[in-house]
Amino acid sequence: MNLPNFLTTTPDGEILLTGNRVGLFHVVHYYNEGYSPEMLVCQYPTLPLSLIHKVIAFYLENRSEVDAYVAGCQTEMNRQRESGGRQLDLALLRERLGSRQKTETTSDS
């Protein structure tokens, strides 16, 4: 799929709205759920309405390719959900955060 300059592919294959962390998957998902462009701006207030309109126009002009991309994303999310993914170890996370805070405090002195 040839992407316009307002869409960017990350190294892991995710398509993002250029300069944002919002994915094409998310905009298309909500659009297909019945969200209007104005509702999408409420959902993602950092996105300008004009960009939402461009993304929707791109989607409508490339519907089969984008739908295939969205289906692939959904399949991968389902696979990860079913596999249980990695469980978050809160104790380890707290330990890492504490170590980082100590390092930052030491380097600030």
pLDDT tens track for 65-83: 999 999 999 998 888 888 7
**Beta-carbon count within 10 A of 105 CB:** 9
User: 7 near 15, Cβ under 8 Å?
Assistant: yes
Mean pLDDT, residues 85-108: 78
Question: Residue 28 falls within a domain, yes or no?
Answer: yes
Residue 77 within a domain: yes
Give the per-residue pLDDT at 58: 98
When divided into structural domains, the chain yields a total of 1
**Looking at the domain assignment, is residue 2 inside a domain?**
no
pLDDT one-digit tens code per residue, 15-54:
999 999 999 999 999 999 999 999 999 999 999 999 999 9
Output the pTM of the full model.
Answer: 0.74
Inform me whether the pLDDT recorded for 109 exceeds 70. Answer: no
Residue 16 phi, psi (nearest 5)? -115, 155
52 neighbors 42 (Cβ within 8 angstroms):
no
Q: What is the pLDDT of residue 103?
A: 81
Residue 1 falls within a domain, yes or no? no
Does 45 reside within a domain? yes
The CATH code of the domain that includes 44 is 1.10.10.10
Per the structure, the complete domain to which residue 27 belongs is given by: 7-108
In a domain, 31, yes or no: yes
How would you label 32-48 residue by residue, b for 16+ Cβ within 10 Å and e otherwise?
A: eeebebeebbeebeebe
pLDDT at 87 over 80: no
